[in-house]
A and B are shown apart, each in its own frame.
Chain A
Amino acid sequence: MADAPKLVNLTVDGKKLTAPAGSLLIDACKNVGIEVPSFCYYPNLSLQGACRMCLVRVEKMPKLQTACTTVVAEGMVVATDNEEIKQARKAMVELLLGNHPLDCPVCDAGGECELQDMTFSYGAAESKYMEPKNHKDEQQWSPVVFFDRPRCILCYRCVRVCGEGMDVWALGVQNRGVSSIIAPNKEDHLECEECGMCIDICPVGALTSGAYRYKTRPWEMNHVGTTCAHCADGCKTTLGVRRADEGMEIVRGDNRDKSGINNDFLCMKGRYAFDFANHEDRLTQPLIRKNGKLTPSTWEEAFELVGKKLNEVRMRDGGSAIGVIGSTHTTNEENYLLQKFARAVLESNNIDHHRTADFPALAAVLSGKQEITASMRDVYNAPAILLIGNDPTEQHPLLAWQIRNNVRLHGAKLHIINSEPIKLRRQATSFTQIPVGAELNAASFLAGDDSALNAITASASRENWAALRNQLRNTENLVIIFGSEIRGAAVTAVTHLASSISGAKVIALADYANSRGASDMGLYPDLLPGYHPAAKSGLTLPQMAENAKSGKLKALYVVGSNPLARFHLDSQIFAGTFVVVQDMFLTETATIADVVLPAANLYEKTGTITNTCGDVQIVKKASEVNGPKSDFEMIVRIADAMGYDVRNLVPFGRGETADMGQSRGAQSGEADRHAVWLQANNLEPKLSPFDPMAIFDEIQRLVPGYRVSRLNLLSGNDEHTQLSQSGPGAKHDPALIVPAHDNLFSSGTLGRYSRALNSVMENRNPQPAEVAAD
């Protein structure tokens, strides 16, 4: 923003106001609180002028003008609310309702329908039309998208968001006049990314969601704003929950609260793939292996057994005979607690997790230097972006959305270096294809090492490479985004490139909801929280497997992870190891466990998670399934069963006056939900040993980057953490990083147990695809 935009003065309804030159009348009005109704106008989408609801009278113009396509001009005098306009709006609504069925009591949009609101505010009570309405049967366009043609008011929002926003162009308009219809790209069905943006943006109930259809009504649900549990982008999502036989059930995912880093966006997974929580295979009772078979038991028995066994091993063989594998799907607090539990209670540094990005290397380069990590919001505003490796369209849908819309709306320059012709190249200013595995060379060349290019390109294209490098070096505020292809030395190279450009920032892409958090919280054998080196290094995950094979690993504690499937380990090697698994389902790893403890998922507990950019966000308890416990509670109770004073693990019950819910007249049996309520009201009781906020205090004290505004965080906003304030990090063997290779419709274990994702997969390719574990 070099110059402040010129302002023009205009008068609306007798109010004098100023607006930036070139802005639209409808926006100018909205900014000063004058409501101009509209259907087809949607911020950041191209203009349509189709619905004619925003008609206003502009002086000296012959007819009523559409406010959504009129640009403000100096001295303009506008009336938005007089008899003439009221009449026009009334007539418009009447025309829209000419064919619109009045099935509001049945329609899914009833209660949050823009046409309903408009009719209520501006419409007439009765229609002049006597003609019968046209009826067409509802169509199913995909497993998750249904189209009810008569309800459609032809605002074309879906067409535009699908094309412009998503770059999918799967929807179009066919025929003309009264017979115009919205049409899917494949005759009678859709072939698209199933993001559901069209459903979200539909002002009426013409496009409805297969997951939510006819289940309930908007006002019957509780709406809980939380963070998505799938990929590492950390979209803010609003979950609609309602009572069910087994606790609270999530019936809808959307983003009615558009304040998150994702703004309008949610992908297929965020919108529909919450159904794993209610999968029939969900474990609800602890299982203990008796006579070689996993048999249901009680929590007390399970905790007692785990405590006793772990104590035994620790006393007899020492902590080094115990391994701990953490999760990329648990909260920061749980991850922190787990490593604290491992190091303090089990006296073992053998802790690791499934690594999908080289954050320790990044921390090592950045430690103590200027902060140059970008947040997800930066991606939307950066003037230029360099993307090395990864395919964000498939693996980081939000990131792809941010990039696409930055290019579309702000004219950002996108440079891509990839071994595959990824879809984002359609937005790219330059796309450079490199051989598989040559990312290090590319990064080194860009960082200044001319010889690095020899291996990857013929001399002919050298000039192009040099030109690209020059261009990047001269681009201020460049954001460099790199996938897991960039590890070890390559991270150093990329970061060097970034620090040589003024204002440049970097983002390392990991794969799971809290991969970054697991890394920041020190689920490493040699790193403590905040990338501070541990006094003594423990075993990495592959080393633990080795030790289990040779019989040196006597006990293994796995929290929310499936190393057996992910690292293709032989189940026999754990024959002599006491294995405890905390998970939602009987995964490959759980089937060989001695004790399986049913765990709650990210939608069922409170805490914070960190997305791949380092943006911390809060997760709030939305749903509930009777039986499982949160990992937090289980860790504490195992520590307790081992005879450890849990006050040393979770600093609770000190100081702080407490509100046990009296102030809101809490009824009995609401203790669990009380935690949610406290969260919502920014209160922190720290009364309970299971209170994650007590641990978050400790995290904020010990991990310098996490000293963010607590107020802002608890209000549901994202806070960027500073990696440069961390400890010195470490250089690890790059082979330890195993990318997830999830796509738009897979999400590890969560995806395997999600009906919505599976139905889309089956719809696409009848042969079941191999789904990655973990």
Chain B
Amino acid sequence: MPILKNIAAIAKGMSITFMEMFQPTEVENYPDGPGPLKGAKFQERFRGVHVLQRDENGLEKCVACFLCAANCPSNCIYIEAAENTAENRVSGAERYAKVYNIDYNRCIFCGYCVEACPTDAITHGHGFELATFNASNLVYRKEQMLAPMPAHMGANAVFNQAEVNQGAPAVPVQGV
């Protein structure tokens, strides 16, 4: 009897519905939840807005090798490289990224840039609140993506702690 079969199937399905109805809710209460994340929860591996990391000396890890840009399938990374000098040392190697832009209009959060990075400079953070009324706001500059200074440094002032100990000024120096 097909009718009975159908009724049985519906009953089976609705039983799951009714069962779940009385379980505690699993829905995230974003954006009305507590804490800085406003209730959003992430897996560790979530690929959000990129973070440009610094090394233990507070210098940028990015050496402007362009591999992320070369690897990017949506061609959203724009870099201009420049050479570090004794007076203006931004990264640990000879070269640093003078300009590092990611166009989030185009970024597909595939993570290829992170895979490609030889210095682990670019990583995915958990930022996801990118929405804006103006598309040009979606081009993020290096300064917007840079990780904060490591706690013990406090400023991207000098390359060498020994220099600070010898009296070098430990004030922030603009990176560009």
Q: Do chains A and B touch in the complex (CB under 8 A)?
A: yes
Residues of A within 8 A of B (CB): 103-106, 110, 138, 213-217, 219-220
CA distance A110 to B63 in the complex (A): 13
The contact of B81 among A103, A104, A138, A216, by CB within 8 Å, is A216
Q: For residue A105, which residue of chain B has the nearest CB?
A: B65
With A110-B65, A216-B66, A220-B66 as known contacts, state yes or no: A105 contacts B118, CB within 8 Å. Answer: yes
Q: Give the nearest-CB partner of B118 in chain A.
A: A105
Query: Does the CB pair B65–A106 fall under 8 Å?
Result: yes
Which applies to chain A's interface (DSSP): helix, strand, loop or mixed?
Answer: loop
> In the complex, are the beta carbons of A106 and B69 less than 8 A apart?
no
Query: Which of chain B's residues have a CB closer than 8 A to the CB of A103?
Result: 93
Residue pairs across A and B with Cβ atoms less than 8 A apart, 10 shown, are A104-B65, A104-B118, A105-B63, A105-B65, A105-B119, A106-B93, A214-B64, A217-B66, A217-B81, A220-B69
Contact with A along B112-151 (1 / 0, CB 8 A): 0000001100000000000000000000000000000000
Q: Max chain B CB contacts within 10 Å: which of A103, A104, A217? A: A217
- Would you call B40 an interface residue if the criterion is a C-beta within 8 Å of the partner chain's C-beta atoms? no
Asked if B95 contacts A214 (CB within 8 A), the reply is yes
Cα(A214)–Cα(B90), bound, Å: 14
Bound-complex Cα distance A216 to B83 (A): 10
Bound-state Cα–Cα, A220 to B97, Å: 14
In the docked arrangement, what's the CA distance between A106 and B82, Å? 11
Task: Quote the shortest CB–CB distance from B69 to chain A (angstroms).
Answer: 7
Least CB distance, A739 to chain B, in whole angstroms: 40
Interface residues of B in 43-68 (CB under 8 A from A): 63-67
Classify chain B: how many residues form its interface, as a range. Answer: 10 to 19
Nearest chain B CB to A736 CB, angstrom units: 48
Whole-angstrom distance between the alpha carbons of A679 and B5 in the complex? Answer: 73
Q: Report A-chain residues with C-beta under 8 Å of the C-beta of B79.
A: 220
| CA A217 to CA B95, docked complex, whole Å | 11
B176 on the interface (CB 8 Å rule)? Answer: no
For B71-94 the 0/1 string (1 means CB < 8 A from A) is 000000001011100000000011
Report how far A219 CA is from B67 CA in the complex, Å.
10
The residue that B65 contacts in the complex, of A213, A215, A217, with Cβ under 8 A, is A217
Please tell me if the beta carbons of B94 and A106 are within 8 angstroms of each other in the complex.
yes
Among A105, A214, A217, A220, the residue within 8 A (CB) of B82 is A214
Chain B residues contacting A220 (CB-CB under 8 Å) are: 66, 69-70, 79
Q: Is the Cβ of A219 less than 8 Å from the Cβ of B70?
A: yes
Question: How many whole Å from A421's CB to the nearest CB in chain B?
Answer: 42
Q: Please give, as numbers and ranges, the residues of chain A lying within 8 Å of B66 by CB-CB distance.
A: 216-217, 219-220
Which of B69, B94, B119 sits near A214, CB closer than 8 Å? B94
Contacts of A216 in B (CB 8 A): 66, 81
Query: Whole-angstrom distance between the alpha carbons of A110 and B70 in the complex?
Result: 13
List the 4 closest A-B pairs by CB distance, nearest first: A105-B65, A214-B95, A214-B83, A217-B66
Contacts of B95 in A (CB 8 A): 106, 214
Q: Which B residues fall within an 8 A CB radius of A?
A: 63-67, 69-70, 79, 81-83, 93-95, 118-119
A219 neighbours in B (Cβ, 8 Å) = 66, 70
Q: Are B81 and A105 in contact (CB under 8 A)?
A: no
**A contact residues around B65 at 8 Å (CB):** 104-106, 110, 217
**B83 A213 Cβ-Cβ under 8 A:** yes
Residue of B nearest to A245 (CB): B80
A219-B70, A220-B69 as given contacts; A106 in contact with B83, CB under 8 Å:
no
> With contacts A106-B63, A214-B81, A220-B66 known, what are 20 further pairs, Cβ within 8 A?
A103-B93, A104-B65, A104-B118, A105-B63, A105-B65, A105-B67, A105-B119, A106-B94, A110-B65, A214-B82, A214-B83, A215-B81, A216-B66, A216-B81, A217-B65, A217-B66, A217-B70, A217-B81, A220-B69, A220-B79
The CA-CA distance from A106 to B84 in the complex, in Å, is 11
The smallest beta-carbon distance between A401 and chain B, in angstroms, is 32
Q: Which residues of A contact B93 (CB under 8 A)?
A: 103, 105-106
Interchain nearest-CB distance for B33 vs A (Å): 41
Shortest distance from the beta carbon of A1 to any chain B beta carbon, whole Å? 47
Distance (whole angstroms) from the CB of B86 to the closest CB of chain A: 12
Q: What residues on B are CB-neighbors of A214 within 8 Å?
A: 64, 81-83, 94-95
Contacts of A106 in B (CB 8 A): 63, 65, 93-95
A387 to B15 alpha-carbon distance, docked (Å): 103
CA distance A216 to B98 in the complex (A): 11
CB distance from B122 to the nearest CB of A (A): 12
- Inter-chain CA distance A103–B81, complex, in Å, is 16
Q: Which residues on the A side are within 8 Å of B81 (C-beta)?
A: 214-217
Q: Which residues of B sit under 8 angstroms from A110, Cβ to Cβ?
A: 65
| Cβ contacts under 8 Å, A213 to chain B | 83
User: Which residues of the other chain, A, contact B63 by a CB distance below 8 angstroms?
Assistant: 105-106
Q: Chain A residues with Cβ under 8 A from B83's Cβ?
A: 213-214
Instruction: Tell which of A104, A138, A214, A220 has the most Cβ of chain B within 10 Å.
Output: A214
B92's nearest neighbour on chain A, judged by CB, is A106
CB distance from B74 to the nearest CB of A (A): 17
Report the bound CA distance from A138 to B84 in whole Å.
Answer: 14
A364 to chain B minimum Cβ distance, whole angstroms, is: 55
A217 contact set on B, CB distance < 8 A: 65-66, 70, 81
In angstroms, Cα B115 to Cα A265, docked, is: 39
Q: How far is the CB of A59 from chain B (nearest CB, A)?
A: 43
Shortest CB-to-CB span from B77 to chain A, Å, is 11
Chain A minimum-CB-distance residue to B119: A105
Docked pose: A13 CA to B126 CA in angstroms: 56
Look across to chain A and name the residue whose beta carbon is closest to the beta carbon of B69: A220
Min CB–CB distance B18 → chain A (angstroms):
56
A533 CB, nearest partner CB in chain B, Å: 56
Shortest beta-carbon distance from B75 to chain A in Å: 12
Most buried by A among B63, B65, B82: B65
A219 to B93: give the CA distance in the assembly, Å. Answer: 20
A-chain residues with CB within 8 Å of residue B94 when the two chains form the complex: 106, 138, 214
B contact residues around A105 at 8 Å (CB): 63, 65, 67, 93, 118-119
A244 to chain B, nearest CB (A): 9
A106–B69 Cα distance when bound, in Å, is 15
Expressed in whole angstroms, the minimum distance between the Cβ of B94 and any Cβ of chain A is 5
Q: Please report the C-alpha to C-alpha distance between residue A214 and residue B70 in the assembled complex, in whole angstroms.
A: 17
A150 to chain B, nearest CB (A): 13
Q: Which residues of A contact B70 (CB under 8 A)?
A: 217, 219-220
Q: Can you name the residue of chain B whose Cβ is closest to the Cβ of A148?
A: B94
A106, A213, A219: which has the most chain B beta carbons within 10 Å?
A: A106
What distance in Å separates the Cβ of B112 from its nearest Cβ neighbour in chain A? 15
Distance (whole angstroms) from the CB of B171 to the closest CB of chain A: 26
In the assembled complex, the Cα of A217 lies from the Cα of B66 at a distance in Å of: 7
B95 nearest CB neighbor, chain A only: A214
CA distance A216 to B63 in the complex (A): 11
Chain B minimum-CB-distance residue to A213: B83
Cβ distance A242 to chain B, nearest Cβ, rounded Å: 9
> Complex: how many Å from CA A62 to CA B79?
54
With both beta carbons as reference points, the residue of chain A lying nearest to B67 in the complex is identified as A105
Give complex CA distance A110, B64 in Å: 12
Bound-state Cα–Cα, A220 to B99, Å: 14
Q: How far is the CB of A147 from chain B (nearest CB, A)?
A: 14
A104 to B94, CA, bound (A): 12
Interface centre among B64, B69, B82 (most CB of A within 10 A): B64
Give the distance to chain B from A510, nearest Cβ to Cβ, in Å. 39
Per the bound structure, the CA–CA distance linking A220 and B65 in Å amounts to 10
Q: How far is the CB of B121 from chain A (nearest CB, A)?
A: 9
* Nearest CB of B to A112, in Å: 13
Least CB distance, A241 to chain B, in whole angstroms: 14
**Distance A104 CA – B117 CA, assembled complex (angstroms):** 12
Report Cα–Cα, A110/B116, bound state, in Å: 14
Please report the C-alpha to C-alpha distance between residue A219 and residue B69 in the assembled complex, in whole angstroms: 10
A103 vs B118: C-alpha distance in the bound complex, in angstroms?
A: 9
Q: How far is the CB of B3 from chain A (nearest CB, A)?
A: 59
Q: Which residues of B contact A215 (CB under 8 A)?
A: 81-82
Q: How far is the CA of A748 from the CA of B69 in the complex (A)?
A: 40
* Chain A: minimal CB distance from B61 (Å): 11
Query: What residues on A are CB-neighbors of B64 within 8 Å?
Result: 214
